[in-house]
Chains A and B, each alone.
Chain A
Amino acid sequence: MSISKFFALAIIGLFVVTSSSFAGGKNFSLNNNVGKNQIKFDSEAPVETINGVVNTVNGNFTMDMSNFEATTGTITLNIADMKTGVEKRDEHMRGADWLNADKNPQIKYQITKLTGLKTSSENGKFTTKGTVEGNFMLNGVSKYLKGTVNINYIQENAETKKRASGDIVNIQAKIDVPLADFGIKGKSGVLGNKVANVVKISAVLFANSN
């Protein structure tokens, strides 16, 4: 091997090593052993408030504690798991006039980036607050939606190992979802009256790195 080839391979090798060390972040999966994953959805209409909850949430994302802005991933829930406390209302919510679960059984939020972050760190724990941006997919429609996000990132230590392996992350996010933007008209006279035009979603998610 010539010296020039040796240097060329060394440079490529160095690039690969540095890329994997600094640019990739870690892959995380939602894990109830870390904490209870839950998404709440609230409809505050003039004559009725509906508070719903989803206790089964799935998701994976990539996060780098040195570059939270580059976070990407997908959070998914099954409409069948959405509960409002009244069974008949849940059934209607899943119906064709509302969330249309037969045709589009899942709601997804595809995180594309975090922006406007203010980050601080202390003893291996990173905290950042800002805006989450991504594609919200509901009723077969995808819309770009922004929300607020608050992230606590803890590097693996003796305490975190008691819950799960790897680094652990807690995400608290809030997003407003205008139903009409997703083609949801509801039954005549109900939307805006007994069901809010904009449903407020708040998520508390826990994940560990794989």
Chain B
Amino acid sequence: MKIVLFLISFLVAIPLLSLPQYQLLTGNRCGNCHVNHQGGGQRNELGYYSMADVSILKPDFIMKNLPESNSPFSNTMIGLDLRAQMARGVADDAERRVFPMQFAAYASHQATDWLTLEGTFSFYNKERRYPGQQMFFGSALIQPNLSFPQLRVGYFQPSIGVRFDDHTNFARLVPNNRVFNTPIIAPNYAELGAEMTYDVVNYKAKGFVTLTGGAFSTRSLNDVTMFSENGQLLPIVKNDDISYIGRIQFSENHLITDITNSTLGASYFTNAGVTMTNVFGGVGVSDAFSLMAEYSMKEANSFFSIQSTSISAMYQATEGVFFELRAEESSGTIQQGSEKVTNTNKQLVLGSQLFILPGIVLRPEYRILDTEQSPRLLEQYTSSRFFVQLYAFF
């Protein structure tokens, strides 16, 4: 049977998160521009106004009418991410389609000096929902002041590795011929849990060592099913287990040199079923260039054992014009029915982000994807495709 299962059009309801590259291009850590420490979701006021007027074109009537902030009410901020994509599946006869991809609305409220509440509604099509993906999530952020640890409690995603804005990043996927459709950590994956984050080192507010630790339920991860050794599709983790996350990250802004920013870190996520170890790092020259890498090891009892490497470079040509090159490889053994196979996927992404108007981004992309399986039980493919996303944010 011809493999047509992989269709790019299946990609729906993908969250646009923070760009970790921006940390390296600006020297701002994720939490400087987002309400939560790990980045993504609701932008804070600095995050809003840092990007609100970034644009190649600056028509007067738009620039003069840009909202001054994302805070329409006292101590309350809102945000919005909308995306549509034009894409074509990998099948030879696949047609190019345009479809909505994301509708996410955010709100946060600073109830007191030490308590902020934040929530997200991210619509998805139930028929195309990724296992583990959630529509509603939110948390309470508790921090008496900036010198104290931050406690985050609620329904949200553990701080695993680098939270890229691109759900096709291999670090969170299972390599197979439906690669983008088989996430271990789905976009908008969320669990009930708590996380504590603390800057154990704050060297002149230019160099930080940040520790994160937390515990989460596994009810959402229980949605992810894979073939077990006996050929049955089973959840990779029980739903009454507890996941633990530990993370350490060093980040600096113009500390080592006057123009560079860098980061280095690792996270370890584990429960009775799944273990993920991520090591990541990057260096950037302010306003010019960033280079990031992430290595990920994922294991789940008899289900899979996978390693992946991702390297991405971003070049900022001028205000609102970014070019990106990303190379990735993921390989490992997984159960395919009752057989154990070795899958290897490779991906090369050449793309750009063009802020054509304030809050409007055009993201053309060219992807080359290659899948391989040994022994080859399923048809594999090599594809090269052109995609375009239109993204609007507030």
**A binding-site residues for B, Cβ under 8 Å:** 44-49, 51, 85-89, 92, 187-190, 193-194
Contact = CB atoms under 8 A, between A and B. Distances in A.
Interface stretch (B25-33, B185-193, B305-313): B25-33
Given A85-B286, A92-B50, A187 B205 contact: no
A58 B253 CA distance: 30
A133 B46 CA distance: 35
Contact of A189 (B44, B202, B319): B44
B205 A85 contact: no
Contacts of B28: 48
B147 interface: yes
B120 to A, nearest CB: 20
Contacts of A88: 26, 50, 54, 287, 319
Given A187-B49, A188-B69, 8 more contacts: A46-B147, A46-B202, A48-B28, A48-B205, A49-B204, A49-B206, A85-B259, A87-B319
Nearest to A189: B45
Contact of B146 (A51, A92, A190, A193): A193
A51 B147 CA distance: 21
Interface of B: 26-29, 31-32, 44-46, 49-50, 54, 69, 71, 146-147, 202, 204-206, 253-254, 258-259, 286-287, 319
B46 A49 contact: no
Given A46-B146, A46-B205, A86-B287, A92 B49 contact: yes
Given A85-B286, A86-B286, A47 B46 contact: no
Nearest to B29: A47
A65 B69 CA distance: 53
A191 to B, nearest CB: 11
A49 B253 contact: yes
B45 A86 contact: no
6 residue pairs, one from A and one from B, having the closest CB atoms: A49-B205, A46-B146, A49-B206, A87-B287, A86-B286, A85-B286
Contact of B205 (A47, A189, A190): A47
B390 to A, nearest CB: 23
Contact of A44 (B31, B69, B71, B205): B205
A189 B146 contact: no
A86 B33 CA distance: 15
B50 A44 contact: no
Given A48-B205, A85-B259, A189 B46 contact: yes
A108 B286 CA distance: 29
B113 to A, nearest CB: 11
Contacts of B202: 46
A127 to B, nearest CB: 30
B108 to A, nearest CB: 12
A194 B28 CA distance: 10
A46 B202 CA distance: 8
B95 to A, nearest CB: 40
Nearest to A95: B49
Nearest to A193: B146
23 contacts: A46-B202, A46-B205, A47-B31, A47-B146, A47-B205, A48-B28, A48-B205, A48-B253, A49-B204, A49-B206, A51-B254, A51-B258, A86-B26, A86-B27, A86-B287, A88-B26, A88-B287, A89-B26, A92-B49, A92-B50, A188-B45, A189-B44, A189-B45
Given A85-B259, A86-B26, A187 B69 contact: yes
A44 B202 CA distance: 12
Contacts of B26: 86, 88-89
